[in-house]
Every structure is written in structure tokens, then in C-alpha cells.
Chain A
Amino acid sequence: MEAKTNTNIMIVGVGGQGTLLASRILGNVAIEMGYDVKVSEVHGMSQRGGSVVTYVKYGEKVYSPIIDKGEADIILAFEQLEALRALPYLSKNGKIITNIQKINPMPVITGAAEYPQNILETLKEKCNVTVADALSLAEQAGNIKAVNVVLIGVMAKNTNIEYSVWTRVIEKTVPEKFLEVNLKAFELGYNL
């Protein structure tokens, strides 16, 4: 068996939170770095407020676009419950970066299930976790929709890829009129 050379990043959240843009930024950063890349997305019905998962994998040569259980180096979670749900996908030395935002799923809203208590504590007991209040930071940057780019900022700090590579890709990926907000959001996340 060859040594493991690929980096596996799993982005989890709730449909509508902007996980697709996050994965596209990440994919393009990996290309800038000259890696082989695969990004797997979810479209269609699952996007409607359901759990969404995207995978970004880069390295020398990537075959499968999906990440198996136990193989994510980083889990970037946009919502607490989704962070917990993704835990079995984390590799032994992996790291979870999670937003503290909570969004009640419909079974919780209808009273059929309960939102688990103390998720962050549970995660911290088990693995390496970085916590961010991405919603407040996005608000500070000027738009609550910039949660995705705040989290990309937090994640960027956890890689050895240069700051300027990230901002260059954001400039190429994000529409002009939202660029300023997004660059600010990235900076706030990066300097968390």
C-alpha cells in the first residue's frame, strides 16, 4: 500500500447554508496548489433544508470523489447537530471545525425528537475541535449569508496554504458585488 497522501475534507451543514460555495472555493484552492482534486456535491431534493454533505479531496491522485467513514482529515461543520452526525467520518487524528449555530430539524420542531444537549462538550471530549461563532462574524462582516466564507477562513488557518492563495481564489469565485463582504468574512474567520 502506498502512503496516504491525499487530504480529505468533509463539509456538512443544512441545505441553504452555502456549503456548495465553500466546497468550490476549497476545490479551486487545491487546484491553485497544483493538486489533483475531486469535489462531490449534493443537488436536488436533499438541498431543501435537509442535511447536506460535500466532499473535497486533493493530493497526488484522487480516485473516489466521496469520503468513507473514518477518513476525513477535517470536518467543516456549519451547524452543531451536523457536526455530531458527521463524527464517524473523522479520521483518528482528524479535526472538527464547527460553527456554534443550531438549526432545529423538522423532527425536533414537531416534537418527535429532541435536539441533543451539549454537543460541543461531547465533541471536545472525543476529538480535536475548533469552535467558531460564524454567524456573529458574518454579521460583523456585513451579511449573515457570509457564514460559509467565515468558516472557510477558520479552516484556512488550519492548513499550510498561504493567505494570499485563498483570497485570490475568493476573488475569482465570488460575484463582484459580494466580494468586499466575503473578503472581510474570510479575514474574520482566519484571525479567529
Chain B
Amino acid sequence: MKKLLLGNAAVAQGAYEAGIHFVSSYPGTPSTEITECLAKYPKEEVYVEWAPNEKVAAEAAIGAAIAGGRAMTCCKHVGLNVMADPVFTDSYIGVNGGAVFCVADDPGMHSSQNEQDSRHYAVASKIPMLEPSDSEECKEFTKKAFELSEKFDTPFFIRLQTRVSHSQSLVNIEERKEANIKPYEKNIAKNVMMPACAVKRHVVVEERTLKLKEFSNNCEFNVIENNGSDIGIITSGISYNYSKEALKNSVNYLKIGMVYPMPDEKIKEFASICKKIFVVEELDPYMETEIKALGINVLGKECFTLLGEYTPKMIKKAVLGEAEKEAFELKESIPARPPVLCPGCPHRATFYVLKKLGLTVSGDIGCYTLGAVAPLNSVDTTICMGASISAAHGMAKVRGKEFNKKLVSVIGDSTFMHSGITGLSDIVYNKGSNTVIILDNSITGMTGHQDNPTTGKTIRGEATKQVNLIKLCEGLGVEHIVVADPFDVKNFEKVVKEETERDEVSVIIAQRPCALLKSVKYEGFCTVSDKCKKCKVCMKLGCPAISVIKSSDNSGNVLNENSNGKKTDATETVVIDKTQCNGCGLCVNVCPFSAIEKRAER
């Protein structure tokens, strides 16, 4: 049976068909759906969980594999940084049951803080890496990876890119083949990586790499398509499909499905049938460098950019020199539409207050990174998961007490569990006096609503123990912990003022659930009455539903009329778009003239 599947869903299907037993991951775009899809298979067949972070997830998967099960962990490219520690050493240990680390890169940074290229990790950790180019290959490569992992006694990487993860194509669905859990035997020389053992395991790793290289030269993943041309394209992943679309069968291809170790002999063979070779790969010149090291002359980054995503046209132009003109050009200047916090988002209230108080905000990774964009302009720094707390510690120590009284860290509930706890411990232990705001919206928001240790539910929606953030912070030694609802703007402002003034560490738990949760129901919508003095305090919220229109502007075809239908003689009117408004009422709370009302009916 053929089915239209996301690349991520196809990876899940491949793992399922391979008889996978154990999956542990932390969500991260563009990898999230792999684990979510695996949680849809029967729990009797596959154990699936969200872990607090990628390092924990990878270690759990490694343990499951050592214990004889087939195991996987999935993450985004920057998640691989977090889990790098166990991954590098697991390369020495190898596996018992097959282990697969699936990592999704994000060229073009659709939803990421950097554009790093995960292929370097394969080289550095000496772990083989497969790279599928569409959903069918996602399934097949993942399935094969488990088998090969056991055959070569090594974990395998599967590398995806956003356009592979998040595009759907047809997949041949097959039956699950049960893989028996292998016997567990104590093996200190293999599984205890202290120097005496590791020295010997390193020898094994180098021997294994030679075998894998031989395999790479003869495997089904690396394929030459000889179309009798003088021009050759060496490519992998999504770039293969872009190249095929652009150049069809007018050139020869070497499609690399196993990107580490590279197939040196096959590359030499391909070079012998081509006069001119282009290497087409997004991000870094990884393959290009490896190929040039073989003494083969190829064209790579002198023709293609190091930045962002490629397109078929870009490839056509680089290879054939054809620049096609588009039928329609756009001369009009068009306003950008950057992402914004959703209507009803609890973070909006928090940032409104932080901006009003003129605080320096050490930010973190999540929807609330959007607190940096206009008009909130609140966030000062965003580095990586957890850095809001630890970076603020460094800031405070360098700039002193007075600066610290105008400094807060903001971090989501899930991100706090991921890697905020250690930062907070650092501050308490080292006598800091920072204020940390935990944005507790009862869910992992940005990646699309995943449960985490603070939500009281597992990935399968089963009830479980819930982390008590207050007791957790108390346990770390924090003596001042306040829970406050940011939508009660006045009180929240008072709390933030008091806590930042303190010469001791304090934690504010800003509690209000994500507006997109099904359990959150705001009634009706908000509307502006003729009491409006056009002070535009509500505009400072940056709510996408509220805008100012000029009375001469007739573009507002979906906008509410001023509630009494009366046009004032001023040229400006503040209006609320009822298709955007979800009735959260935050604007009602901040309006100094009680000019915004809530209406029940739609």
C-alpha cells in the first residue's frame, strides 16, 4: 500500500517496520513529528517518550541498545550539540540492539538559531551517516540503519533536512518485522569507557571505519546514474531532487546516500566518466572537501552559496549558465510578515511589563523569543536552550548589582526543565542575586504542543507525576518564589519590581496556559468603544488583532466598526479585527480609559 507521508512520518514508519523497541527524544523543529508519529503505534510494540533534553534522550536510547533493544533518538541539529557527549563515546561502545540517531538540519533557518551542518559530527564521532532524499528513502534508510548498526556494531546517524522532514511524498507501507531483544551480557571491556578500555576500543573504531568505507563503495545508498554526459553532479539529500528537477537526465549523477564514510573508489569511478563535475550540497562544502582530498578536481562552493536553501533554478543557472526571467516581476514594495506571538499569548503580557519597566531581558529558545520583535522589543539576548539563566549570571557578575536590578531571565517551562535548572543552581551556589521568570504556559509551545515533565502527562497522554516548579526551585536554594498571572498586569508589574529590587535570587513563575491549548477557551471578542482616546497603549501589546486605521482608508473590510458605528472626526481609529481576536481580554486590562469591551457573541 502506498501512502502520502511526511519525511518525518516515514522515518517513524521505517523504525516501526524495523521492529524498534525504544524511542526517547526532545522535540525540536524540524524533527518533532518523528517521535510524535512513533507514539501513534501501539504501546505494546514501541515504547516512546519525551525526555527532558536531548542528552538524556540519547543516553536512554544508548542504554536501551546496550540492553539489547532496537533504539532511536531524534533531534534537531542544535539538539545534537546537547547530546554530543554520550554520542561520541557510544561510537566506541557500539551497540547490542541497533541504535539510530536521527538528526534534522534546518538550512534556511525556518525555525532555528543557527545553520550548522550535522555531517561534521559524523566525521568527528566516526559514526556512519545516511542521508535520504525523500519520504520513501526516509523509511528505507531508517529500516536499513538498524540492521547495519547491528552488523557493524556502531550507532548510525540518519541526517534529514527541513525539506525532507517536512515534505510529503509517497511511501510503500510494509508490515512490521519483530526484532527480538538480544541477550544482555556484562562486558566491561566494551561498555565501560575508562582509559584502559577506551584505548582498545579506539582501535576497533578505526578498523570499523575501514570496513564501513569499503561498504560505502559497494552499497545501494551510493549510486551512479550514467546518462552519457560530460557533466557530472555529485549530490545528496534534497539537493539530489533539486538537481534532477533542474537537469533531468541531461547529466550524470553520483547520488550519495551514505555521506560518511564517503565512497572514495566510487567517486574515482564517477570522475573517470565525467569531464566536469559539480558538487551540489547545501550548507558546508563537506563532500567537496572530501572529494578534493582525493585529488579530484570539482566545482563546488565557487558556484553555490554557503547560505540557506537551494532551488532547482539556482542549480540550473550554476551548471548550464541559463538564467530564466520570470513572467511576473514585483515592483511594489511589500511589507514583510514576520512571525508574531499569537493572539491571547500569555507571553505578550509578560513582555509588555518587562518593556514598560525598561529591563534588560536575557532570553531563551521558544515562542517567547518573539518577545524580541517590534513593538515589544523586549528580549536582549538569545543564545541556546537554557542560556537565559546562565548568561544572565555572567552579565550580573560583570556589570554589578545595579545592573542586575534591571535584569531578568525569561525561560519557558519546558526549556527550564531542559537546561535551566543547572543555570539556576549556578547562580544560587555562586551567590548571585538574579531574577528568573519561568514562563509556565503548561506545554512545550513552539514545536506544537508536546508534554514535558511539568505538564503531568506522557507523550501518549497518560497521567504521570508532575514536577513541582516551586519545590524544585526551593530545593536548589531559591528563597523567594512568586507565582503570578501575567494577565493581571498591575499585580505582575508589582511582583517584577519587587523581585528585581531584591539582593537575593528570586524566581517568578508567570503562570497562564498557551492560548492554543484546547483546554483554553476565551469567550467572545474584544471591541473598541467611543471612549477611546487613541492613546495607543493597547498598540504596545503588539497584538496582531489590534491596529489603527485612517478613516480615509477603506481597506478594513474585515475590521469591526467602532462599536457605535460612529466615525470620529480624527483621522485615526483603533480597531480590533474579530477574525484575529480570540477574546483573551489583555487589551481590556491595559486600556487606561476602559474603552475596550468584551462582547460575547461572534
Q: B338–A101 contact, CB under 8 A?
A: no
Assuming the A-B contacts A43-B30, A63-B241, A65-B241, are A48 and B335 also in contact, with contact meaning beta carbons closer than 8 angstroms in the complex? Answer: no
Pair B335/A37 contact, Cβ less than 8 Å: no
**Are B579 and A70 neighbours in the complex by a CB distance under 8 Å?**
no
| Nearest CB of B to A29, in Å | 11
Which of A106-114, A150-158, A159-167 forms contacts with chain B?
A106-114
B375 and A110 contact, CB distance less than 8 A: yes
Stretch from B55-63, B177-185, B390-398, B539-547 at the A interface = B539-547
Assuming the A-B contacts A48-B367, A49-B342, are A101 and B579 also in contact, with contact meaning beta carbons closer than 8 angstroms in the complex? yes
B12-23 interface code vs A (CB 8 A; 1 in, 0 out): 000000000000
CB neighbours (8 Å) of A90 from chain B are 327-328
A105 interface contact, C-beta 8 A: yes
A50 touches B338 (CB 8 A): yes
Among B166, B334, B602, point to the contact of A116 (Cβ < 8 A).
B334
A109–B540 CA distance with the chains assembled, in angstroms: 10
Q: Determine which of A42, A43, A91, A106 lies in contact with B340 in the assembled complex, contact meaning CB atoms within 8 Å.
A: A106
In the complex, which range does the number of interface residues on chain A fall in?
35 or more
Counting residue pairs across A and B whose Cβ atoms lie within 8 Å, the total is 205
B329 on the A face (CB < 8 A): yes
Interface residue count for B (Cβ, 8 Å)?
68
Given A16-B342, A68-B312, A41 contacting B337 (CB threshold 8 A): no
Q: How far is the CB of B534 from chain A (nearest CB, A)?
A: 13
- The answer to whether B163 touches A70, judged by C-beta atoms less than 8 angstroms apart, is no
Pairwise interchain contact B577-A39, C-beta atoms closer than 8 A: no
Residues of B within 8 A of A107 (CB): 335-338, 374
Q: Is B29 at the interface (CB under 8 A from chain A)? A: yes
Task: Collect the chain A residues with CB atoms within 8 Å of residue B29's CB.
Answer: 43-45
- Do B326 and A43 touch (CB < 8 A)? no
What mask results when residues 85 to 124 of chain A are scored 1 for a CB within 8 Å of chain B, else 0? 1011011101000001111111111111111110000100
In this complex, the member of B167, B337, B547, B580 whose beta carbon has the largest number of chain A beta carbons within 10 angstroms is B337
A88 to B330, alpha carbons, bound, how many Å? 6
Whether, in the assembled complex, B272 has its beta carbon less than 8 Å from a beta carbon of chain A, the answer is no
Q: In the complex, are the beta carbons of B4 and A44 less than 8 A apart?
A: no
Q: Is the CB of A109 within 8 A of B546?
A: yes
CA distance A92 to B367 in the complex (A): 39
Partner of B170, one of A36, A112, A126: A36
Q: Which residues of B contact A100 (CB under 8 A)?
A: 557
Assembled-state Cα–Cα distance A39/B170 (Å) = 10
18 contacts between A and B (CB under 8 A): A24-B168, A39-B4, A41-B6, A43-B29, A43-B110, A45-B370, A46-B110, A49-B340, A50-B338, A64-B246, A65-B167, A66-B163, A85-B330, A87-B330, A101-B558, A106-B337, A111-B548, A144-B602
3 tightest CB-CB pairs across the interface, nearest first? A44-B111, A44-B29, A50-B339
